[in-house]
Amino acid sequence: MSTRTKEILVVAIVAALFLIFYLRKVFGAPPVLFPGTVSILVVSVIGLSLLWILIRTLAGRYVERRVVFLYVGIAVTLPLFMTLSQKVSVAPEVQGVFSSFEKLSAGSKVLVSFDYDPPSAPELQPMAEACLYYCFEHDLKVIIMGLWPQGPMQANLALQKVLNDERISQKNLQYGVDYVNLGFQAGNEFVIQRMGSEFRSMFPADFRGTPYEEIPLVTNIRNFSNIDYSFNIGSGYPGTREWVQIAVDRYGLKLGAGNTAVQTTEMYPYLRAGQLAGIVGGMSGAAEFEFLTKWIGNATKFMLAQSVAHMIVISFVIIGNVAFFVGRRTRERKS
């Protein structure tokens, strides 16, 4: 069989599989989950095959980059099907965010700012969902806003998911009474600044166009002094830094932050200085937060994928170095 025929065959088989899977979904079949033993088996197979690559490399047969691609793909895909329960040890900064939530009594008002867009969603969306779930479950009132244009849309996606959860849907929460989405407002840190004196000046209406004073939840909210706690989910500018510098430092808002992994280190100084109640950082932080809020969502699911992918990269760095030293030895022997 020529390579071309083989390729066409593979594409055809994969396409057929996808079609079957899709029909399966359309007819309402449940998702697939590997049982624990299968998961362990899969991880061991991946590990052993890496070992095999290492041995091949020691023997002087190097892998090409498409093999690396394949491994990255596998490392990210297969863990999504797994149920390996990783031991969750909650970091103190995540606990800090959660403890502040725990201290709130029913009816407290929580401001959640969505300052990110879809590229950061894999890391941040789980935090948003867990936060909303916890608030709704404990009868906290949620006020949503965004300093990024696509933030409030991400909020709506999260709301949709959380509100459809059976634990929440039975509560029959009312828009405008139990939660509200004020939408996006351009102006970066100046929005926060103006909110310090008057929310309404920045959000004359919510994202649906309902005037501020007609929304029961917020009619009595004038500025930050009426907010009991705030959670900022941000991936850059404007984001956590601006919230800390203006809302926390000047107006005394109590703030917790959810950030991407890349951004987290920049925020630690604020945590140490006590300006932040805590930080939920990256996928691992999100997984810990999900564990605390008992909302087992995407971060817990994605966490394993990210760790495995990371380990794959580390393994290939090691294999690459082995390849280099083996290559040098053979070159030296030749000369």
Partner 1 sequence: MDHFALWLAAFFTLGIYSFLYKDNPWYKLCEAIFVGISAGYWVVTLFWDNFHGKFWVHKFEDWWLWIGAALGVLMLMRLFPKIGWISRWALAFIVGATSGLWMMNYFSSNIMRQVQDAVLPLFGTGFEASFGAILANIVVAVGTIAGLVYFFFSKEHKGVFGGTARVGILFLMVTFGASFGYTVMGRMSLLIGRIDFLFSDWLGLIR
Partner 2 sequence: MRRLIPLAITFVVGTVLIVSVFTPPLENIERTFTLFFDIIAVFAFFLGGGNLLRVHISKLRRRKQDWGFSVVTIVGFLGMLMIGLFKLGGSGNIAAPVDETGSLFYIIFDAVLVPLQSTMYSLLAFFVASASYRAFRAKNREATLLLIAAFVILLGRTPFGTMVSGWIPEWLSIAQIPNLAIWIMNSPNLAGQRAILIGIGLGVISMSLRLILGIERSYLGDDNA
Partner 3 sequence: MPLTCPTASGGSRSIRNLKPLQFIVCALLVVGSLGQVNAQSDSTILFDSAMNALAPVTSLLAADHKYDNGERIDLSWIPSIDDQPVNGKITGYGVYRLTNAGNPALIADLPSGSSTFSDDNVEPGSDYSYYIVARSAYESAVSVRTAPLSPQREWLNLNRGFLFLIAALISAAVIYFVQSAKRGKKLFVRKISGLEAIDDAVGRATEMGRPVLFIPGIHDMDDVQTLAALTILGRVSRTIADYDTKIFMPVARSLVMTAARETIKASYQAAGRPDAYSDDMVSYVTDEQFGYVAAVDGLMVREKPATVFLLGSFFAESLILAETGNSVGAIQIAGTARPAQLPFFIAACDFTLIGEELFAASAYLAGEPRQLGSLKGQDVGKAVAMVVIVVGALAATLGEAWDISFMQNIYHWLSSVFSSN
| Binding pattern for the stretch 83-122 against partner 1, x by CB under 8 A and - elsewhere | -----------------------------------xx-xx
Residue 49 phi/psi, 5-degree rounding, is -65, -35
Q: Which of 50, 56, 67, 81 binds partner 1 (CB under 8 A)?
A: 81
> What is the spatial distance between Cα 126 and Cα 293, in angstroms, rounded to a whole number?
11
Q: Hey, which residues between 274 and 333 contact partner 1 (CB under 8 A)?
A: 282-283, 298, 301-302, 305-306, 309-310, 313
Residues 86-125 as x/- pattern, contact with partner 2 by CB under 8 A? --------------------------------xx------
E strand map for 139-267? 141-146, 179-184, 229-234, 255-259
Q: Which residue has the tokens 């817990």?
A: 300
Nearest residue to 50 (alpha-carbon basis) of 32, 33, 70: 70
311 binds, among partner 3, partner 2, partner 1, none (CB under 5 to 8 A by kind): partner 2
Binding flag, residue 320, partner 2 (CB under 8 A): yes
Of these partners, partner 3, partner 1, partner 2, none, which one is at the site of residue 237 (CB under 5 to 8 Å by kind)? none
Structure tokens at 55: 């041995």
Rounded Cα distance between 82 and 79, Å, is 5
Alpha-carbon dihedral sign for residues 132, 248, 206, 123: negative
Q: Which of 35, 41, 52, 77 binds partner 1 (CB under 8 A)?
A: 77
Residues in contact with partner 3, shown as a per-residue x/- string from 195 to 234 under the rule CB under 8 A:
-xxx--x---------------------x-----------
What residues numbered 64-93 form the site for partner 2, per CB under 8 A?
65, 68-69, 71-73, 76
Q: Which of residues 162-181 bind partner 3 (CB under 8 A)?
A: none
Q: From 213, 215, 195, select the one nearest 147 (Cα to Cα).
A: 195
β-pairing verdict for 179-184 and 109-115: unpaired
Tell me if 65 contacts partner 3 by CB under 8 A: yes
CB of 71 closer than 8 Å to CB of 305? no
Containing H/E element for 128? helix 121-137
Query: Is the link from the previous residue into 269 a cis peptide, with omega within 30 of 0?
Result: no
Residue 243, interface with partner 2 (CB under 8 A)? no
Binding mask 220-259 for partner 1 (x = CB under 8 A): ----------------------------------------
Site residues (vs partner 3, CB under 8 A): 65, 196-198, 201, 223, 251
